[in-house]
Amino acid sequence: MAFATTAHLNFRGDAREALEFYRSVFGGRLTAVTYGDFGMPRELPDADKIVFGEVVADDGFRVMAYDIPSQAGAEAGPAGTTRREHGMTLTHEPFFLSVRGDSAEEVGELWKKLSEGATVVEEYGPAQWAPAFGMLTDRFGVTWVLDVAAEYSAG
C-alpha cells in the first residue's frame, strides 16, 4: 500500500503560469490538462484553463494545481466553503490536500474514515480522469481530494 499526500493549489486563471514557474524552480515534469481536454467546448471561456496540473520532480518535490472555474468567484460563497454545482467544484479555498493511492479499495478505506463527520463535496467513485475520486471537507474544515493514481497524457 502506497499513498502520497500533496498540496493542491487553487488558482483563478494562472495555474499554468504558476506550475511552469514551480517547474523552473524545482525541476521535474509538468502535467497540465485543460477543461477542454476533458470535453468542455473549446469556445467557452474556461476551456483553456487547467483542471488538473502537477509538477513532479525525481527528488520528491510534488505540487498540484488547478484553475477554479470562472463562475466560482461570484457563486462559491464565503471563504472556507467548497461546493459542487452544475458539474463543477466551486470554491474559495486557497488549497486542498490531495491523497493519491494505488487502488480504489485502499483509497476507499481512507475515504470511509475521513468522511466521518465530514461534508461530502463529491462522492467517492469512478471519474473521467481516475479509477476513483472524491472530495470532502472534514470535520475540522480541511478539504481533501482522494483519488487513485492514473497516467495523464495531455499537457
CATH homologous superfamily of 3-148: 2,3-Dihydroxybiphenyl 1,2-Dioxygenase, domain 1 (3.10.180.10)
Mean pLDDT, range 116-133, rounded to an integer: 91
Cα distances (angstroms) measured from residue 123 to each of 43, 90, 132, 134, 144: 29, 15, 10, 5, 12
Q: What is the pLDDT of residues 22-31, one digit of tens each?
A: 999 889 999 9
In the chain, where the domains are located: 3-148
Name the pTM for this structure: 0.70
Percent of the chain's residues with pLDDT above 70: 83
d(CA 68, CA 52): 11
**Regarding predicted confidence, which is higher, 154 or 91?**
91
Residue 66 CA to residue 53 CA, distance in Å, equals 6
Region of poorest pLDDT, from 1-5, 12-16, 78-82, 136-140: 78-82
Number of helices and strands (H, E) in the chain? 3, 10
- What confidence tens digit (pLDDT) does each residue in 32-82 have? 999 999 888 889 888 999 999 999 999 888 999 999 887 644 444 445 556
Contact 110, 138 (CB under 8 A): no
In this prediction, residue 91 carries a pLDDT of 64
What's the CA gap between 72 and 90, in Å, rounded? Answer: 5
